[in-house]
Structure 1
Amino acid sequence: MDDDLPPDLDRLRTLETWADLYLTRIRTRIAAVERQQARPPQQAPAPTAVPPSRPAAGPRPARPPDWGLAEAGIGVSVTEIHRGDCWASGKKLLPVTAERARAELAGGARACDACRPDRVLHGRDRP
């Protein structure tokens, strides 16, 4: 006897049922592929001049702000300035203008080490 099969009848019957269902799925897929291969190849439809319409899925997600302020709190020793799309900004980012971000940096706020907003805000680097 095979060692990889269970020894009891209940589990063997369960495996038999599963194998039968799976074999039926495989045979159905084989038949569909054979039918598809038996058909003559069809040409792809010509592209249309009308762009596809946008699905009506409700409002778009809000655009991230250009700059943000992460307030000091648990795990954050000082206020940090981030770019709006920074992955390290945390969940609560207060949107601020570029002028406010510059003022906060001048006032002692820390620039994020990941997105380096100080370089962009002070003109030393362009995004």
Structure 2
Amino acid sequence: MYDLPPDLDRLRTLETWLTLTLDRVRQQIKNVEQRQQTAPQDPPPAPTPRPRTPDWAIVQTGIGTPTTEIHRGDCWAAGKTLTPITAERARAELADGAKPCDACRPDRPLGMPPPQP
């Protein structure tokens, strides 16, 4: 709790200031309520839809020697550089030697044989 002044003069001054401040706040509330009643009500903005998670994605990885990796679209290990691709392109990339992600194993649901070591 705040410490209040011990003397009556300062307490009265504080009371006057608080009363004036409360009057200003109440007047502002009335002004805002009047504006809201007279202004046309805009509908709330529609939420921005999140982009659909792709089913399959490709990532260029590697430093110096680029490596192409195929991931499921919801793979936690893919990072933020996913490029969405179709299932057909994912199969073609895997057939051409792209590496399937070790975490999400996209080769399994695509019906591809496991990579050879």
Q: TM-score range by the shorter chain?
A: 0.5 to 0.7
CA deviation after TM superposition for structure 1 residue 73, in Å: 3.8
Number of the residue aligned with 1:117: 106
AA at the equivalent of 1:102: R
Q: Give yes or no for the alignment of 1:63 onto 2:39.
A: no
Match of 2:93 among 104, 119, 122: 104
AA at the equivalent of 1:84: G
CA deviation after TM superposition for structure 1 residue 77, in Å: 5.2
Match of 1:81 among 70, 88, 97: 70
Larger strand share, 1 or 2: 2
CA deviation after TM superposition for structure 1 residue 109, in Å: 0.2
CA distance in structure 1 between the partners assigned to 2:45 and 2:90 by the alignment: 36
CA distance in structure 1 between the partners assigned to 2:79 and 2:64 by the alignment: 11
TM-score for both structures, normalised by structure 1? 0.49
User: Structure 1 runs of 4+ off > 6 angstroms?
Assistant: none
8 Å contact kept, 2:60–2:66: no
How many residue pairs get matched?
72
RMSD: 2.5
CA deviation after TM superposition for structure 1 residue 72, in Å: 2.8
- Aligned-pair identity (%): 61
The superposition leaves residues 73-111 of structure 1 with CA deviations (integer Å, 9 ceiling, x where unpaired) of 439852100000101111111111000000000000000
Q: 1:79 to 1:58 in 2, by over 3 A?
A: same
Number of the residue aligned with 1:95: 84
TM-score for both structures, normalised by structure 2? 0.53
Map 1:23-42; keep pairs closer than 5 Å: none
CA distance in structure 2 between the partners assigned to 1:75 and 1:89 by the alignment: 19
Q: Report SS of the residue matched to 1:105.
A: helix
Q: Which runs of no fewer than 5 residues in structure 1 stay unpaired?
A: 1-19, 22-54
